[in-house]
C-alpha cells in the first residue's frame, strides 16, 4: 500500500483489522462503498439545545462529550419513527463508527452531495480536534456530527448517512497532482474550456496544457480553478422561500425520500441568466440558496480522485459551502457523447445585499489526488450524478 487516498478495497482492510468499528460496517463489501470514501451513519444518540438557545460548536483540544454541560446540551435518543430536524436548529449526533487508526492514517470528512444540495451543513467533530472535518493521524475515539438544515425539515433515523469519510496514508498533501506534473498522467482526465477571443470559439484544453503556453506561473500549482457556468440558454435553480416550503408542508425523509421523490417545482424555481453587452450574469437575492454548475468537467481515471474546496468560507456577499469529493471514474460513465461531468456549486447569498455574479467567476478550487491502491469500481452507479449537467438533490424529481 502506497502513499495516497485509500481505495474501497483498502478501507475494507481497515474494517477487517478493526481500525474502523461499527455495527453497520461489519459486513460491507467493496462494491457497497464509494470508490474512495466510507459513509458515516447516525447512532441513536443525539444532543440538542434548549429551544431558542441553539449554537454551533467550535471546540478546541477537548473531549466532545465534555461539552455537554458547558454548552447546556440535552442527551436524547432517536425513536423508532425517527427525528425531525427543524430548520436552522443545531443538532449534534454521535456516529455509529469509532476509529482506531494506525499512526500513518488520517482522514477527512465531507457532506454527501445529495445532502449538500438540500442546504444542510454537516461538520465532523472528534475529541481534541482543532478544526472541523479533519481526523488526525492515529486517532482513536468516537466521532460526532453537527447538523444544521437551513431550509427543509429533515427526518433522520439510526443508520442514516449524511456525510462521508476519506482516508489518507501519509501526509494529505503527499499525493497531490500539481500543475507541474499533471502532464505525466492520463491527459483525458481533466477538461477546461478556454474562450478564444480572436476566433470567437471555445477551445478544449487537456491536462497536458496546464504546464504549456497557458500556464500562469503566478498560480499556486496545487490548486485548479472551478468557475461558474452562466449561460442564457441554461437556467440555474433557486430554493423557494422557507415560508413557501412550510405552506407546502414539505419534509425530506432521508431514508425513504429517494423512493418517494418530491416534485421539484414544489421547492425550486428556475432563474434565467441575464445578458448585456455580451456579458452574462445573474443577480443573487439576499438570504437565498442556489444550485449552479462549473465550466470545468471531470473525467477521472481509476487512480485519481478529487477534493473540492471553497476558496474561502465567504466570498464577498455569497457563501460557497460545497466542499466535497469526486471519486475515481467520475464523469466516465455518461450515457451520452459528452466528455466529462461538471461539479455542482451550492451557493448561499447572505442578507447584506444583492450580488451580481458573472459568468466565469472562480467559486472554488479542486485538488487532484492519487489513490494509494487499486479501486474496485461499482457495477451500479447513480447515473444522475455521472450524467448531470445541473442536477438537484436526488430527493426531488428530475427537471425535464
* Percent of the residues in the chain that have a pLDDT greater than 90, as a whole number: 41
Per residue in 86-95, is it b (16+ CB within 10 Å) or e — as a string? ebeebbbbbb
More confident residue, 252 or 336: 252
Per domain, the residue ranges of the chain are 4-169, 182-386
Backbone angles phi, psi at 4, to 5 degrees: 140, -165
Using CA atoms, how far residue 131 sits from 126, 128, 215, in Å, is 9, 9, 33
Which pairing describes strands 252-253 and 154-156: parallel, antiparallel, or unpaired? parallel
| pLDDT number for residue 334 | 78
| pLDDT number for residue 182 | 81
Per residue in 339-351, is it b (16+ CB within 10 Å) or e — as a string? ebbbbbbbbbbee
Q: Which of 332, 350, 353, 349 is nearest to 341 (CA)?
A: 332
Kindly state which CATH superfamily the domain 4-169 is placed in. Answer: Deoxyuridine triphosphatase (dUTPase) (2.70.40.10)
| pLDDT number for residue 198 | 43
DSSP character at residue 321: -
pTM, two decimal places: 0.88
Same fold, 4-169 and 182-386: yes
Beta bridge partners of 168: 5, 106
Residue 66 has pLDDT above 80, yes or no: no
Q: Which of 56, 8, 64, 55 is nearest to 35 (CA)?
A: 8
Residue 314 has pLDDT above 50, yes or no: no
Across the chain, mean pLDDT equals 83
Work out the average pLDDT over 336-360: 83
Residue 250 has pLDDT above 90, yes or no: yes
Indicate the length of the chain as a whole number. Answer: 400
What's the CATH number of domain 182-386, 2.70.40.10, 1.20.1440.120, 2.40.160.40, 3.30.2020.30?
2.70.40.10
The model's pLDDT over 257-286, given as tens digits with 9 standing for 90+, comes to 888 799 999 999 999 999 999 899 999 988
Residue 310 has pLDDT above 80, yes or no: no
If phi over 0 gives left and psi between -120 and 50 gives alpha, with beta otherwise, what is residue 200?
A: left
* Percent of the residues in the chain that have a pLDDT greater than 70, as a whole number: 81
What cell does 55 get? 449554537
d(CA 376, CA 373): 10
Work out the average pLDDT over 300-317: 73
Work out the average pLDDT over 390-396: 89
More confident residue, 137 or 323: 137
| pLDDT number for residue 320 | 61
| pLDDT number for residue 193 | 61
Residue 216 has pLDDT above 90, yes or no: no
Q: Any idea which of 31-45, 127-141, 333-347 has the lowest mean pLDDT? A: 333-347
Residue 48 has pLDDT above 80, yes or no: yes
Residue 397 has pLDDT above 60, yes or no: yes
Answer yes or no: are the C-beta atoms of 109 and 157 closer than 8 Å.
no
Residue 126 has pLDDT above 80, yes or no: yes
What cell does 361 get? 467567476
Dihedral in degrees, nearest 10, Cα atoms 310, 313, 314, 319: 70
Amino acid at each position: 500500500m502506497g502513499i495516497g487516498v485509500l481505495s474501497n478495497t483498502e478501507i475494507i482492510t481497515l474494517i477487517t483489522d478493526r481500525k474502523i468499528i461499527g455495527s453497520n460496517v461489519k459486513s460491507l463489501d467493496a462494491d457497497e462503498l464509494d470508490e474512495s470514501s466510507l459513509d458515516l451513519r447516525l447512532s441513536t444518540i443525539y444532543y440538542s439545545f434548549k429551544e431558542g438557545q441553539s449554537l454551533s460548536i467550535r471546540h478546541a483540544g477537548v473531549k466532545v462529550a465534555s461539552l455537554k454541560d458547558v454548552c447546556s446540551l440535552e442527551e436524547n435518543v432517536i425513536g423508532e419513527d425517527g427525528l425531525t430536524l427543524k430548520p436552522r436548529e443545531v443538532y449534534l449526533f454521535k456516529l455509529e463508527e469509532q476509529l482506531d487508526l494506525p499512526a500513518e492514517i488520517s482522514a477527512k470528512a465531507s457532506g454527501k452531495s445529495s445532502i449538500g444540495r438540500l442546504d444542510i451543513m454537516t461538520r465532523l467533530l472528534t475529541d481534541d480536534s482543532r478544526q472541523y472535518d479533519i481526523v488526525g493521524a492515529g486517532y482513536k475515539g468516537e466521532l460526532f456530527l453537527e447538523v444544521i438544515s437551513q431550509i427543509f425539515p429533515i427526518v433522520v433515523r439510526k443508520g442514516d448517512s449524511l456525510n462521508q469519510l476519506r482516508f489518507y496514508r501519509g501526509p494529505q498533501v503527499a499525493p497531490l497532482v500539481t500543475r507541474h506534473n499533471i502532464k505525466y498522467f492520463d491527459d483525458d482526465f481533466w477538461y477546461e474550456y478556454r474562450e478564444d477571443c480572436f476566433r470567437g470559439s471555445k477551445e478544449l484544453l487537456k491536462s497536458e496544457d496546464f504546464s504549456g503556453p497557458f500556464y500562469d506561473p503566478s498560480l499556486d500549482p496545487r490548486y485548479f480553478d472551478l468557475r461558474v457556468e452562466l449561460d442564457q440558454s441554461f437556467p440555474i435553480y433557486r430554493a423557494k422561500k422557507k415560508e413557501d416550503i412550510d405552506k407546502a408542508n414539505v419534509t425530506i425523509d432521508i431514508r425513504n425520500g429517494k423512493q418517494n421523490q418530491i416534485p421539484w417545482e414544489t421547492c425550486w424555481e428556475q432563474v434565467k441568466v441575464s445578458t448585456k453587452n455580451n456579458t452574462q450574469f445573474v443577480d443573487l437575492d439576499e438570504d437565498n440558496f442556489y444550485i449552479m454548475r462549473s465550466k470545468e468537467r471531470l473525467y477521472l481515471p481509476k487512480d485519481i480522485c478529487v477534493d473540492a474546496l471553497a476558496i474561502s468560507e465567504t466570498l464577498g456577499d455569497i457563501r460557497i459551502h460545497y466542499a466535497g469529493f469526486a471519486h475515481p471514474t467520475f464523469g466516465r460513465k455518461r450515457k451520452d457523447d459528452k466528455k466529462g461531468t461538471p461539479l455542482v456549486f451550492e451557493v448561499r447569498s447572505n442578507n447584506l445585499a444583492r450580488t451580481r455574479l458573472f459568468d466565469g467567476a472562480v467559486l472554488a478550487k479542486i485538488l487532484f489526488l492519487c489513490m494509494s491502491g487499486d479501486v474496485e469500481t461499482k457495477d451500479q452507479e447513480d447515473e444522475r450524478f455521472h450524467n448531470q449537467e445541473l442536477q438537484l438533490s436526488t430527493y426531488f424529481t428530475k427537471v425535464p
